[in-house]
Chains A and B, each alone.
Chain A
Amino acid sequence: MSEELHPFETFLRREMIPHIWCDGCGNGIILNCYVRALKDLDIDLNKVVTVAGIGCIGRISGFTNTDSFHTTHGRAVAFATGVKLANPELKLVVISGDGDLFAIGGNHFIHAARRNVDIHVICANNFNYGMTGGQYGPTTPLDAWTTTTPYGNVEHPFNLVHLAAASGAAYVARWTTLHARRLTESIKKALQKEGFSFIEVITPCPEIYGRYNKMRTGIDMMNWFRKASEIRNQSDPAKAEITPERIVIGEFLDIEKPSFGRLLRDMTTRVQEKMRKGR
């Protein structure tokens, strides 16, 4: 290895770098933005837990030098809820894919958002199941080609930001990997927020999704993001569409709301007081 040291070296497990992701994949950019946010906020790494599910991006838990947790398929949010309630001092960051969070773990996600559990979810949306060979999933756009939709997808995709906002999240944003700076700022904002925050990151998957959709390299997919993305901060997430012509990104929701952990602690102290007085 070269003797030059990257400024983020202490935030990564050096023996695991270089990571396993393909060339042109955007997961590395998400990792980059995440560790930059941790560095900028100067958070104690012993107080951060990175939880990841199954999928390409699931390997992120092995690359960050925080405490980390690689969980069963779809259960990243459920495990994170448990960790947060057991030790409220920790900062819980769930980084997982669209298939893991919304197909297999869909119910965990919506109920964690409804309860407003104090966890921060970053979803890498690459429009398909990349790790298993590019099958179509709940976020594959209409008419897109994948290995299991060789004539085009006939199902309507999820609008993830709308789903999160409707379920009750306190902070909802969507960025692409090309908007690395805005994404970093957004992660920083989400990490300081109390309650459930959700950031969807649209990620290039040139090896599998791009290959079927006439975007063979990471640069082709990033250029599509550059051409199609439109920043609409504070707009209605219901209208935030993803089509080949238009990707609506931005910060959609940022509200204050008491978190589940706080309400639970308040209730516990109230009941304990009542019991003491009663006796």
Chain B
Amino acid sequence: MPVRLWRKPLDADKIKIPRGEIHIIKERCKGCNFCIEFCPREVLEESEEFNEKGFHPPRVKDSNNCALCGFCEAVCPDFAIFTVEKNCEGGC
């Protein structure tokens, strides 16, 4: 295992990983699948349903995995996906 993986950061217990809530605007999606392919935590997958243009929009596979990196939002050419921080006060 590489060195950087078996050393744990000293403040690892204090850091809280943010949780993201993914919003998908299905009608805008053109099915390029960039968000599915380039999500670092593999949160999304292709759905079987069609939108009104005849493309398969993405679907959230496991929303608990989302760490709010926002890369799906940055790499979407059609402004069809965005993430907001999930309110975790009452537990997620």
Contact = CB atoms under 8 A, between A and B. Distances in A.
A17 B79 contact: yes
Given A23-B55, A219-B33, A222-B34, A178 B28 contact: no
B37 A19 contact: no
A28 B77 contact: yes
Contacts of B77: 21, 25-29, 31-32
B61 interface: no
Contacts of A26: 77
A180 B75 contact: yes
Contacts of A126: none
B38 A18 contact: no
A12 B82 CA distance: 15
A222 B82 contact: no
Nearest to A12: B79
Contacts of B38: 178, 222
A24 interface: yes
B27 A1 contact: yes
Contacts of A21: 77
Interface residues of A, number: 34
Contacts of B76: 28-29, 32
A24 B76 CA distance: 10
A2 B79 contact: no
A153 B83 CA distance: 43
B28 to A, nearest CB: 5
Contacts of A219: 32-34, 37
B74 A184 contact: yes
B79 A6 contact: yes
A181 interface: yes
A36 B30 contact: no
A178 B71 CA distance: 10
Interface in A1-40: 1-2, 4, 6-9, 12, 17-19, 21-29, 31-33, 36
B75 to A, nearest CB: 5
B32 A180 contact: no
B34 A218 contact: yes
Interface of B: 23, 25-28, 30-34, 37-38, 55, 71, 74-80, 82
Given A1-B27, A181-B74, A217-B32, 6 more contacts: A17-B28, A27-B77, A28-B79, A29-B75, A31-B77, A177-B75
The 10 closest A-B pairs by CB, nearest first: A28-B77, A23-B30, A180-B74, A24-B32, A23-B32, A218-B32, A6-B79, A2-B25, A4-B23, A29-B77
